[in-house]
Chains A and B, each alone.
Chain A
Amino acid sequence: MMALADVQDTDSPYALSHLDALESEAVHIFREVAGEFERPVILFSGGKDSIVMLHLALKAFAPAAVPFTLLHVDTGHNFPEVLEYRDRTVARHGLRLHVASVQDYIDAGKLRERPDGTRNPLQTVPLTEAIQEHRFDAVFGGGRRDEEKARAKERVFSLRDEFSQWDPRRQRPELWQLYNGRHAPGEHVRVFPLSNWTELDVWQYIAREKIELPEIYFAHEREVFKRSGMWLTAGDWGGPKGAEQVETRLIRYRTVGDMSCTGAVDSEATTLDAVIAEIAASRLTERGATRADDKMSEAAMEDRKREGYF
Chain B
Amino acid sequence: MTSAAEQLSATTLLRFATAGSVDDGKSTLVGRLLHDSKSVLTDQLEAVTTASLSRGQDTPDLALLTDGLRAEREQGITIDVAYRYFATARRRFILADTPGHVQYTRNMVTGASTAELAVVLVDARNGVVEQTRRHAAVAALLRVPHVVLAVNKMDLVDYAEHVFASIAEEFTSYAASLGVPEITAIPISALAGDNVVDPSANMDWYGGPTVLEHLETVPVSHDLATCHARLPVQYVIRPQTADHPDYRGYAGQIAAGTFRLGEEVTVLPSGRTSRIKGIDLLGQAVDIAWTPQSITLLLEDDIDISRGDLIVPSGDAPPTTQDVEATVCHVADQPLTVGQRVLLKHTTRTVKAIVKAIPSRLTLDDLSQHPEPGQLVANDIGLVTVRTAEPLALDSYADSRRTGSFLLIDPADGTTLAAGMVGDSFATTATAAVQTSDSIEDSGWDF
Interface residues of A (CB under 8 A from B): 1-10, 12, 14-25, 27-28, 31-32, 34-35, 59-65, 145-146, 148-153, 159, 168-169, 171-178, 180, 182-184, 195-196, 198, 200-201, 204-205, 207-208, 272-273, 276-277, 280, 282-285, 288-289, 298-299, 302-303
Contact = CB atoms under 8 A, between A and B. Distances in A.
Given A1-B444, A3-B433, A152 B83 contact: yes
A2 B435 contact: yes
A198 B1 CA distance: 19
Contacts of A277: 4
Interface in B104-122: 106-107, 109-110, 113-114
15 contacts: A2-B209, A5-B184, A6-B217, A12-B219, A15-B220, A17-B9, A21-B292, A24-B253, A28-B253, A173-B81, A177-B402, A178-B407, A208-B9, A273-B4, A302-B68
A152 B280 CA distance: 33
Contact of B11 (A17, A151, A195, A299): A17
A31 B235 contact: yes
Interface string B1-36: 110111011111100000000000000000000000
A148 B409 CA distance: 30
A152 B11 contact: no
Interface string B70-114: 110100000111111101000110100000000000110110011
Contacts of B144: none
Interface string B229-241: 0000011011111
Nearest to A148: B68
Given A177-B253, A178-B407, A208-B1, A28 B11 contact: no
A25 B405 contact: no
Given A34-B235, A35-B234, A62-B283, A298 B51 contact: yes
Q: Which of A4, A150, A195, A198 has the most CB of B within 10 A?
A: A4
Interface stretch (B41-49, B163-171, B192-200, B269-277): B41-49
A66 to B, nearest CB: 11
B83 A145 contact: yes
B413 interface: yes
B69 interface: yes
The 10 closest A-B pairs by CB, nearest first: A182-B414, A288-B43, A149-B68, A64-B239, A27-B294, A18-B13, A31-B234, A28-B253, A18-B92, A24-B294
A149 to B, nearest CB: 3
B219 A285 contact: no
A14 B444 CA distance: 30
A178 B405 contact: yes
B220 A175 contact: no
B414 A183 contact: yes
Contacts of A195: 83
Contacts of B92: 18, 198, 201
Given A31-B252, A184-B413, A17 B12 contact: yes
Contacts of A184: 413-414
Nearest to A59: B282
B105 to A, nearest CB: 11
B415 interface: yes
A65 B247 CA distance: 13
A93 to B, nearest CB: 14
Contacts of A14: 221, 224, 258, 290
B12 A15 contact: yes
B: contact size bracket:
35 or more
Contact of A63 (B12, B243, B294): B243
A8 B219 contact: yes
B78 to A, nearest CB: 10
Contacts of B80: 153, 168-169, 171
Given A5-B217, A184-B414, A64 B237 contact: yes
B416 interface: yes
Q: Which of A7, A23, A60, A151 has the most CB of B within 10 A?
A: A60
A150 B68 contact: yes
B133 interface: no
A204 to B, nearest CB: 5
A178 B109 contact: no
Nearest to B74: A299
Contact of B282 (A62, A149, A288): A62
B348 interface: yes
Contacts of B293: 16, 20, 24
A183 to B, nearest CB: 6
B361 interface: no
Given A9-B220, A31-B294, A62-B282, A280 B73 contact: no
A60 B294 contact: yes
A71 to B, nearest CB: 22
B251 A276 contact: no
Given A63-B239, A178-B406, A35 B307 contact: yes
B70 A299 contact: yes
B401 interface: yes
Contacts of B65: 149
Contacts of B244: 63-64
Given A14-B258, A18-B91, 7 more contacts: A10-B10, A25-B294, A64-B240, A182-B414, A196-B85, A207-B1, A298-B70
A209 to B, nearest CB: 10
Contacts of B217: 5-8
Contact of A152 (B2, B13, B82, B209): B82
B70 A302 contact: yes
B69 A168 contact: yes
Given A8-B217, A22-B13, A63-B239, A175 B405 contact: yes
Contacts of B326: none
A134 B223 CA distance: 48
Contacts of A4: 182, 218-219, 433
B312 interface: no
